[in-house]
Homo-oligomer: A and B are copies of this chain.
């Protein structure tokens, strides 16, 4: 049965894999794991958020999250504060050191990316974004069913 879309999925996977190969080196150089970088990147440029929200955004389950946040806290990269509204909940945010890490590592990963896209034209970007937006929407629609 000619699975017409399989080629697209394989391409998508290969693109992400290529990008992870490219960025992973920088992330590890700073002593971060993939999960830890996920958290740093998710917290970057925000006021902070709860475990629940972090878990939803990163797909890391709550039990795992406790450990990941703990290690980031030990490194002095994040800090926690009890929520005033709901005393069961915490607010996790980057410390100044965590913010520096975010601004250090992210642009490095990003500048590798920049080189990769150096000869993309404005039209190329527009086309890519439109295509991926459409793809994202059909995938999100599939998740509901």
Assess the B132–A120 pair: CB atoms within 8 A: no
Give chain A's interface residue range (CB within 8 Å of chain B): 35 or more
Q: Select one of B12, B14, B19, B141 contacting A15, CB under 8 A.
A: B12
* Cβ contact of A5, chosen from B4, B114, B135, cutoff 8 A: B114
Q: Which residues on B sit within 8 Å (CB–CB) of A125?
A: 4-5, 7-8
Main secondary structure of the interface of A (DSSP, over half): helix
Nearest Cβ in chain B — how far from A22, in angstroms?
6
Residues of B within 8 A of A143 (CB): 18, 21-22
Copies in the assembly, this chain: 2
Distance A79 CA – B9 CA, assembled complex (angstroms):
28
A37 to B141 alpha-carbon distance, docked (Å): 24
List of B residues within 8 angstroms of A84 by Cβ:
none
CB of A104 closer than 8 Å to a CB of B: no
Q: A6-B110, A135-B128 are in contact. Are A142 and B115 (CB under 8 A)?
A: yes
Indicate if the CB atoms of A114 and B3 lie closer than 8 Å: yes
Q: Is the CB of B129 within 8 A of A8?
A: yes
Q: Does A81 contact B (CB under 8 A)?
A: no
Binding site for B on A (CB under 8 A): 3-9, 11-22, 59, 110, 112-117, 119-120, 124-125, 127-129, 131-136, 138-143, 145
